[in-house]
Amino acid sequence: MKRLLLVLLAGACSAPPASAPERTLPAMVGKPAELVVQKLGPFTSMETVAGQRVYVWSFSSQNGAFFPASGIGGPSAMATVPTVRASCSLRMTVDAAGVIQRGEYQGSPDVCSPYIGRLQ
């Protein structure tokens, strides 16, 4: 049982996440960046690309599964094994006036959809 638990843990931790295609948010173009901050909260990071600011919001979620772990604390013990780690990144390219020139997102639809919904 310990060996099975270790194999599951190693597989869950070592599998690279599938890269999701980047998708655009054309409805945000021409709107003030402050609108996104009001709807999503403060951005996670900011970059400068080709002289323009790029605000980035990063979100993630992790689901787990319970497995019997009799070797850990007796026959009734349970261990949580992380099974899925999903993420989403929203990027808004903003000009000097604070107006969005490009909006895009990349990541898991399950994680991205609530945040994209807030922007519509």
Measuring CA to CA, which residue among 69, 68, 66 is closest to residue 82? 66
List the domain range (segments joined by +) for residue 66. Answer: 2-119
Summarised one tens digit per residue, pLDDT across range 75-110 is 555 565 656 678 999 999 999 999 999 999 999 998
pLDDT tens per residue across span 25-76: 999 999 999 999 999 999 999 999 988 999 999 998 876 555 555 555 555 5
Total domains present in the chain? 1
Q: Structure pTM? A: 0.66
- 20 pLDDT above the threshold of 80: no
Q: For residues 25 and 97, give the distance between their C-alpha atoms in angstroms, rounded to a whole number.
A: 19
